[in-house]
Amino acid sequence: MTATDAPSHAPAPAHLTHRAGWLAIAAMFAINGSIFGLWASRIPAFKATHDLNHAELGGLLLLLAGGAICAFPLAGRLADHFGAARVTKAFVFANLILVLALALTPNVWLFGAVLFLFGAAHGGMDVTMNAWGAEVERWAKRPQMSSYHAMWSLGAGIGAASGFAAISLNAPPLTHYAIVGIPLTALLFWLGNIEWTSPVNRDSKAPIFSIPKGQLVLVGLLALGASMGEGAMADWSAVYLVDIGGAPENWAAMGYAIFSVTMVIMRLLGDWITHHTSPHLAARVSGLVAATGAALTVLFPVPQVMLVGFVMMGVGYALIFPLAFSRAANDPHESPGKALAGTATFGYGGMLLGPPVIGFIANATSLRVSFGVLAVLALMIAVLSGALKRE
């Protein structure tokens, strides 16, 4: 029996409305996304500052991924001991401080060290904000996970779009991050700083790592295919537009912004779409659309066509993560917590490992071949879509 220090359903203050509860979680997802968007929009600037080739940039992005993967189990334990809401709020400040620190690093070695810590803070908050979001969703007794992820994409789009303005004004990353990141984070934190007591679980026998089993392996692979594409878009779309499409740098920043806005729109429509079709049909169509978009960017490396491809990739990837999490939470053979933890390992692992893998493939072949790999992964989503059928 699991030892707990709080009830399994977190009590909410009597005065808290469902709207305020949703807004708090949406704000936390938006903070995480916007800080990541700030980072992603200036990757070409860091690449130039530290004179990195594709393989070196890929190696540094692997440090980002490594930090997050190391933080997943630790963040879960922290959430168990102190409550997901409390730990999520602490991670907000860690993310903001570390993204500012990235812009202050004088050499590539220190840049790599800070990038590892930034990845840990980003990945840790990914885990705890999803856990807190699931608590609020259960309390509200209505599906909300897709809309939370939409707010992450909205935040990422805002962060990336601010990069377009900053680059156009020749603002260095530190100035950009300070002027945009600090007030935006403060505003969103104010919206999300509600009274909420998360359940506490100090069961020391719980496994640190959770790997999905049975049908959940296929669900995890679905999440992996989409998240690798989403992670590649975050870290490589700007470089891809500049190096392959010949776009000016300010156009490059808009590439990820357009992709993120598309993700927001689709995720806001996600619950309606799956209600009127089915999860597996939505996933099958999504995979085909994403594969077509990735193929366009490979076959027609012209900035305007590539942006159309990015939009199609946003349409295709948007629903897969929420659908996979929903399927895992309703698995008939595993507890929701264990099933979600295993799926998150595949999903967030793919989002963070995807960018360095793309970098290594690009260095060995070319960036166009790397984006061709994304098309193949999107086809995998379509093939495995049947895993989303609930038994």
pLDDT in tens, 57-70: 878 888 888 888 78
pLDDT of residue 391: 58
Cβ–Cβ under 8 Å, residues 4 and 79: no
For residues 124-146, give the mean pLDDT: 83
Rg (CA), the chain: 20
pTM for this entry: 0.76
Q: What are phi and psi of 321, to 5 degrees?
A: -60, -55
The per-residue pLDDT of the chain, averaged, comes to 84
- Which residues are within 8 A (CB) of 53 and not within 5 positions of it... i.e. 6 or more apart? 363
Which has the higher per-residue pLDDT, 361 or 289?
289
- The 10s digit of each residue's pLDDT in 279-333 is 889 999 999 999 999 999 999 988 889 999 999 999 999 999 888 877 776 667 7
Tell me which H or E stretch contains 351: helix 336-364
pLDDT level of residue 340 (50, 70, 90 thresholds): low
Residue 12 has pLDDT above 90, yes or no: no
Cβ–Cβ under 8 Å, residues 345 and 220: yes
pLDDT level of residue 113 (50, 70, 90 thresholds): very high
Per DSSP, the chain holds a count of helices (H) and strands (E) of 15, 0
Cβ–Cβ under 8 Å, residues 319 and 274: yes
- The 10s digit of each residue's pLDDT in 43-55 is 888 888 888 887 7
pLDDT level of residue 2 (50, 70, 90 thresholds): very low
Q: Residue 350 corresponds to which tokens in the numbers above? A: 């793919």
3-state SS assignment for residue 204: coil
